[in-house]
Chain A
């Protein structure tokens, strides 16, 4: 058999899952869609002694509109988000990015929470949630209990998050978009569905005069986690989004906001070049949508 032996638990409720995790400390790992964890177990790179399968916990999946924004349960399948009409209407950036995640067969199983918790720097969802300034709801044993962590504070390093052992990501909340805002997503990968060499998720808001009021530019595959391009955002904020201003901000993102890694897939210089082009293109589209929306 491919994976090493483990004890298997299949709780029906969140409280039950938290209790099993608490009882086993760092030995136990939650299993969501298994599209990252099971490959690692098949290679025996991961050998959890205890597996806590979250797939029967119905309270963890679903999409609903709340007073503070769009709530997406951690166990909601990526494919369900991709097909959801509320997501398409209220979080178009998320809808636009979904088809770039792997292939339909993977998205049929893979979950939103699993991707966010896995914290792969090349993953789309962490960057999208960062651009949308989403809040991640986490539950764990007392005394911490329930915590709400902004996406900007959730990612702490390469495959590392603010989640403590025994804690579960339960929900992500995407705040309602301000009027006159627009968003766009783009990435470059060798084949459709492959992990991106670089990618960009942006959301901008404009004022009555069409000037940029706020810009959130999140980059993927160019650092240890999703990277918020603050210097580029500062360069465009308060400006009229002319082609020149957009190009300048995109060049700032590529030159000053990142220190991209080089690997067999792409050199640092190539990643900077991709970021300059992708930020320019996504900002152009996002401002156009903000003006029309």
Chain B
């Protein structure tokens, strides 16, 4: 593999995992957020070769159409997505955040979302969805 291949492009083009989106490709929009060893990171700012020996989780691993992750179900219920472009990155940002803050204050939710741009839903419904899904029950 060429070392200059970004993790985001490796996921999308080589593995066909197109749930991870790319918007800006310079770290600003958050659409490409995945988990690297359980921590949210920008996959557009990591070389695919750097993931060697590490565990990568993408939105494909979160839930399925038949069996949505509770956070995905809350997003659907609260209408927290419109075009859905930002959604995978937002979900992958929120999963470790909710692990650390099972019962977050609204200000903490907004701060956690500050690194993800959504250009259509308007954030309010996203915040509502997070509130709907918290406090996080044990064993999520």
A: residues with CB less than 8 A from B are: 1-8, 10, 34-35, 38-39, 41-43, 51, 53, 55, 79, 102-106, 108-109, 191-193
CB proximity of A124 to chain B, nearest CB, Å: 16
Inter-chain contact B25/A192, CB cutoff 8 Å: no
Inter-chain contact A105/B4, CB cutoff 8 Å: no
- Contact of B55 with A by CB under 8 A: no
Complex CA gap A7/B2 in Å reads 9
List the A side residues contacting B112 at CB < 8 Å. 104
| Further contacts, 19 of them, CB under 8 A, given A34-B45, A38-B27, A109-B45 | A1-B4, A1-B9, A2-B6, A10-B49, A34-B50, A39-B27, A42-B44, A43-B26, A53-B47, A102-B115, A103-B30, A103-B115, A105-B30, A105-B33, A105-B41, A105-B93, A106-B115, A109-B46, A192-B111
Inter-chain contact B3/A8, CB cutoff 8 Å: yes
List the B side residues contacting A43 at CB < 8 Å. 26
List the A side residues contacting B93 at CB < 8 Å. 104-105
Pairs A–B under 8 Å by Cβ, sample size 27: A1-B2, A1-B6, A2-B6, A2-B44, A3-B4, A4-B4, A5-B4, A6-B3, A10-B49, A34-B46, A34-B50, A38-B6, A38-B27, A39-B45, A41-B4, A42-B26, A55-B50, A103-B114, A104-B40, A104-B93, A104-B97, A105-B41, A106-B27, A108-B39, A108-B41, A192-B111, A193-B114
Complex CA gap A108/B6 in Å reads 17
Complex CA gap A6/B47 in Å reads 12
